[in-house]
Amino acid sequence: MNLKSLIIPVMKRIIIISGIILMPAWLLHADPVWAHTALVKSEPPKRAALSVPPTQVQLWFNEEIEGNYASISVLSADKKPIISANAEPVPDDLRSVVLPLPEMKAGRYTVEFRVLSMDGHVVESAYDFSVKN
């Protein structure tokens, strides 16, 4: 047996064992890179039952968004638009957008939104809230 035939199997084992040991750390470290922009807070809140109609919708995300490319629609219970417009970026918070609302009556409403994350992914979702008498 020569030295080369002994070293190669040992090196293969070292590489395999290193990969097994380092893989969990790599996956944990890489997770934020795979994450996408997500809604973390809204006003009015999801599933809220408000006694006073809101004057605006404000959305907060877990990372910066392209505020100039955000849109929000508020639909009535019969899915007719109450308002549908580009949201305004919040100047001192690059993770938030706002849309002023017209006067609203009691009823159930759906907020639909579409934003562009800084990495170019489009995020679309919706949630409901209601206004009570």
Tell me the per-residue pLDDT of 24-53, one tens digit each, with 9 for 90 and over. 655 555 444 556 899 999 999 999 999 999
Residue 56 lies in a domain: yes
**The pLDDT of residue 38:** 94
CATH number for position 68: 2.60.40.1220
> Rounded to the nearest 5°, which phi and psi values hold at 26?
-65, -45
Residue 7 lies in a domain: no
**The pLDDT of residue 31:** 46
Residue 49 lies in a domain: yes
Residue 96 lies in a domain: yes
pLDDT digits (tens, 9 = 90+) for 48-106: 999 999 999 999 999 999 989 999 999 999 999 999 999 999 999 999 999 999 999 99
4, pLDDT greater than 70: no
Residue 27 lies in a domain: no
**The pLDDT of residue 21:** 74
Q: Indicate the number of domains in the chain.
A: 1
**DSSP-derived secondary structure for the chain:** --HHHHHHHHHHHHHHHHHHHHHHHHHHHHHHHH----EEEEESPTT-EESS--SEEEEEESS-B-GGG-EEEEE-TTS-EEEEEEPEEETTEEEEEEEE-----SEEEEEEEEEEBTTS-EEEEEEEEEE--
What average pLDDT does range 3-7 have in this prediction?
69
Residue 32 lies in a domain: no
Residue 22 lies in a domain: no
Domain that holds residue 65: 39-131
